[in-house]
Amino acid sequence: MNIEQIDTVIVGAGQAGLATAYHLRKHEQPCVVIDANHRIGDNWRRQWDSLRLYSPARYDGLPGMPFPADGWSFPG
């Protein structure tokens, strides 16, 4: 049996959890992100069909992952 030790568990794959995981991995710190949903963003997909972001897309990305839209658009 191969056992891997992970010192950091991040609960929740929202913006804060994903950003934290990104920075930990960037510093070669192993971590695992757990979430109640099957896919990242499922909570938003199921509950807010009419959601429009109130900030331009250029500010909506995550560390290491720019938002895939025109920088001055307001994605839905």
Q: Is the model more confident about 2 or about 62?
A: 62
- Measured distance between the N- and C-terminal CA atoms of the chain, rounded to whole angstroms: 46
The reported pLDDT for the residue numbered 46 is 76
The reported pLDDT for the residue numbered 1 is 60
What pTM was estimated for this model as a whole?
0.74
Query: What angle (nearest 5°) sits at the alpha carbon of residue 23, between those of residues 17 and 28?
Result: 120
The reported pLDDT for the residue numbered 10 is 95
Q: Is 27 helix (H, G, I), strand (E, B) or coil?
A: coil
Distance, in Å, from the CA atom of 67 to the CA atom of 47, rounded to the nearest integer, reads: 21
Distance, in Å, from the CA atom of 35 to the CA atom of 73, rounded to the nearest integer, reads: 29
Tell me the pLDDT tens digit for each residue of 12-62: 988 899 999 999 999 999 999 999 988 877 877 777 677 777 889 898 888
